Structure 1
Amino acid sequence: MTVADGAGLPRVKTVAITLRIPEAYHREPIITRLVSEHGLTVNITAALLGENAGDGWFSMELQGTEAQLKGALVYLEEMDLEIWDKTNEERVSW
């Protein structure tokens, strides 16, 4: 069941994650796909990713509906990317 606001629109939630990007995925448009395919707003709060630097990481806030967030997390897990610090605490916007 999707929780809606007073106008019947789904609530927007924000979750914070830290994502490890293996070197093999440095050229993949992972964050672009979170926006274009899953409809999320992505705020990168910290990052470490360099050419020939091995694995990198991104600390991000992902904002979207519950369904969009779940779909995006499934996408990341299906790519076998490691998600650190997936917060149970979420912020809700109306």
Structure 2
Amino acid sequence: MANNIALTHKRIRLRIPKDYHSQPVISRLVSDYGLTVNITAAVLGANAVGDGWFDLDLQGTIGQIDRALSYLHDLGLQIWDNNSETGIW
């Protein structure tokens, strides 16, 4: 019997303050939470000065995504969520 675990997508916009630039925040979403992460847009100042903004498409189980979002919230990062078809944040 095949293991059919439903995967879902969640689109978020994430603000990463300059204090976190040396931390592997996005990488941990993959390594620690098992998500597939697609960076669909990003803004990062020259020489990584200032805050970074990342539009991410997260793919995983609902539990994986929920745990990953809890991790980001625990870090105190600003997160905007967009699951609408319009693409408007």
Determine if the TM-score, normalized by the shorter chain, exceeds 0.5. yes
Partner of 2:44: 49
CA distance 1:29–1:41, shift in 2 (3 Å): same
Write out aligned runs for 1:11-30 (5 A).
11-30=6-25
Gaps of 5+ in 1: 1-6
Are the equivalent residues in 1 in contact too, given 2:21–2:48 (CA < 8 A)? no
Does the alignment pair 1:33 with 2:40?
A: no
Where has structure 1 moved over 6 Å in runs of 4 or more? none
Partner of 1:77: 73
Could you say what secondary structure the match of 2:50 adopts?
coil
Whichever structure has more helix as a proportion of its residues is: 2
| 2:15 partner amino acid | R
What's the C-alpha RMSD, in Å, of the aligned pairs?
1.9
Does the alignment pair 1:65 with 2:61?
A: yes
Deviations, residues 20-55 of structure 1 (Å, cap 9, x unaligned)? 000100111011100000000000000012335211
Q: How many correspondences in the alignment?
A: 84
Alpha-carbon distance in 2 for matches of 1:38, 1:76: 11
What TM-score does the superposition give when structure 2 sets the normalisation length?
Answer: 0.85
